[in-house]
A and B are shown apart, each in its own frame.
Chain A
Amino acid sequence: MSLEIFWLALLGLLLAGYFVLGGYDYGVQMLHPFLGGRGGGPGAREAPPAGSPPTGRNAALDAMAPFFLGNEVWLVAFTGVLFGAFPHLEGSLLSGLYPLIVAILAGLVVGNAAVQLRGRARGPRGRRWWGALIACGGALPALCWGLVLGLLLHGVPRRADGSFHIGPGEVLTPFVLACGATTALLFAAHGAAFVALRSAPQLAARARLLGTTLVRATGAVGCLPLLLTLFGAGASPVNRAASAVLAALLAAALAGAWWCLSRGHHARAFAATSGAALLPVALVGAGQYPYVLKASAGGGMTLHEAVTDSATLTILTAFGVVLVPVILAYQTWSWWAFRGRTGRRHPSYF
């Protein structure tokens, strides 16, 4: 296996990891007003016991809290590897999709800060404001990542000087918008599956019902990009066979998620929504190979053009083979240390 492929796979792993982990964060952020708020958490329906401080803890946010900081850094690592191993792609991709990347970042800044600072509010009013920012900060990145996926699947317009550039005309197409809506719904369903897995039975049951509806909606809206592609107005994959297989797997993951959620198999349902969240990354990576950034008029930037010099790549590889297993090990450790369902016994900080 050549080093280029290894680093493309690593880049894909980091982005897929971010879609799975950050994806449920955004889902939980979008759904937290409906799950785990008033009438949500265990025993939250009763009036708070006399003498206890009015805390306003939210059971849905509690569910993701210990993992939240560790989830978002997958995106940071993705960007770092993008810059280190694929500097030419980094410059073209981020500046080419400028408005969308800025929107994603603005959403991330607001959402991340709100999740971490909501608990510091003085009263219910302040918490409501932070809560609104948390929900918007989840919905905006989810939607915009979907738009980015749609553009990457369809191809990005390229100017004569070789630079990539998008305008409103490219984003506001039925295919790209449908991809955005599908991804936002998918992340919401994934978040619901996560809350179902992590929470006490009463909340888990509510999350399961909401998740089932959302998976169905994802499937329904997800038919749109598929139909548009079949009629020639959507994705233009380079590798048709690989794309068809991955799209079929995505459909199967959604069907599996619906089956497991409606039957109460929470762990399997979460595994299925995780698969559905990471498959779009594989669809872009494998479907467009050897292009890493496909131009809408055909052609594009190939893997070989995007990658850094071989001397640099060799040095990075020496670090990578040590660092990646270490990262996976301590992330796994953090998941293990905070496994199990959350309840009021857990320190709630966020």
Chain B
Amino acid sequence: MSAADLARLQFAATTGIHWLFVILTMGLVPLVAILHTRAAFTRDPAERAARERMTRFWGQLYVINYAVGIVTGLVMEFQFGLSWSGLSKFAGNVFGAPLALETLIAFFAESTFLGMWIFGWGRLRRGVHVTLIWLVALTAYASAYWILVANGFMQHPVGYEVRDGQAYLTDFGALLTNPSALLALAHVTLAALTTGGVFVAGISAVHCLRGAKERDLFRGSLRLGVWVATLASFFVIIVGDLQFPLLDRTQPRKLAALEDGGAPWHLWLRISMDTMTIIGNTVSTITLVAVLLLWKDWLVRWRPLAYLMAAMIPFPFIASAGGWAFREVGRQPWLVYGELRVDDALSPVGTASLAVSCALFIALFVALAAVNWTLLVRFARRGPEATQLGATEPLPDDLPEGGSGDAPGGGTDEKHPVPVF
């Protein structure tokens, strides 16, 4: 393999795996925020404790996935400079700004607030604690926006002019309102919500089969997941179709390669596109039926239906990987469409270094993905009883009177432990 192939493989593999974590993070965080808000506004203490436990259960799955997402995201921030320094030489004046703003506006805040949310159970005031998870959700989507502004520039460069072989920013507003970025943001948001909704609905459906007690616990999240997945998967198809006129205008060769059997990359584009559309339509239809079956819990009374909901969980991930491949493969051979070729942007790095780093990153990321999904399955199966997030261990002197496994977990307004500094 040439250095360019290796650098390409490294970028595609790491971005692709990173994306699988990101889409679940983005899909779950609004649902966790909604559940947390509902719990916080519940008056009855017993009911509130139950709802807080459910929040911690879903929050636990979200946080496991986020842990892996953030470490792969760290690597992504370095990727352009490592193997594609030609991009910063040509387009650094334009392309760097959205990435810088993404880190300062979104990534920084998301991580800090999530750290506070994880350790804030029983320590922060309830209103503050709920605000934190909403800030995490908001900054997660802000992050997506800025990344897509950068990606939109690669797909459909706007707001710049080229002087002496370098791009210069001329219209910041045009960069921020690039239709290629905005439509993609809408599409990705809806795809993420579909993924999150199907994830929550599938896990809830299987738990509902375990008995009346579990069904009472998981009924709320089942309904939330099914409704979110239904609405999001309906609109994700519409917004997806809206992108074709734009492609026709801005990236005609991408569409041509999709139809023309002789074009390079045709097969890749065809398979990615068909995977995405078939899964999108199927998930949309199934969830629409599932909404109707929510009536009188019909959805979870018949076992195969509940298992079907769980079996659907991987498919939105596959569909979104297809959509991503279509967007990025269809851009070839351009890195910045019509301006900079991928081959011309390669860093002056030796093939041996690239081969080592490529193998290392792919091995690490695949291992992380395996660990992530093993842990998600394990903690999803165990149910709310085994949630560690926000659980305080009983102290030796608490045991005689208390004794309950995960004592004052939920954001109680009791006196805080007095800090001794």
Question: Which residues of A are interface residues toward B (Cβ below 8 A)?
Answer: 43, 49-53, 55, 57, 65-70, 72-77, 79-85, 87-88, 90-95, 98-99, 101-102, 105-106, 108-110, 112-113, 116-117, 119-120, 159, 161, 163, 165, 267, 308-309, 311-312, 315-316, 319-320, 323-324, 327, 330-331, 334, 337-341, 343-349
Contacts and interface: CB of A to CB of B under 8 A. Distances in A.
Nearest to A161: B348
B72 interface: yes
Contacts of A101: 78, 82
Nearest to A333: B116
Nearest to B396: A49
B394 A52 contact: yes
A77 B78 CA distance: 11
Contacts of A116: 63, 67
Contacts of B418: 340
How many residues of B sit at the interface, in one of the four size bands? 35 or more
Contacts of A110: 364
A114 B116 CA distance: 19
Contact of B419 (A69, A312, A340): A340
Interface of B: 63-64, 67-68, 70-75, 77-78, 80-83, 85-89, 92-97, 99-105, 107-109, 111-116, 118-124, 168-170, 172, 347-349, 353, 356-357, 360-361, 364, 368, 371, 375, 378-379, 388-396, 399, 403, 405, 409, 417-421
A316 B121 contact: no
Leading 9 A-B pairs by shortest Cβ distance = A87-B92, A84-B100, A340-B419, A80-B103, A91-B85, A94-B81, A69-B115, A116-B67, A95-B347
Contact of A85 (B96, B118, B168, B391): B96
Chain B interface mostly: helix
B97 A315 contact: yes
A109 B388 contact: no
B82 to A, nearest CB: 5
A327 to B, nearest CB: 6
A82 to B, nearest CB: 8
Given A65-B119, A94-B85, A113-B368, 11 more contacts: A69-B111, A88-B89, A90-B80, A91-B80, A91-B86, A98-B347, A98-B357, A102-B361, A267-B421, A334-B112, A338-B123
Given A77-B103, A344-B393, A69 B92 contact: no
Contacts of A80: 77, 99-104, 107
B399 A93 contact: no
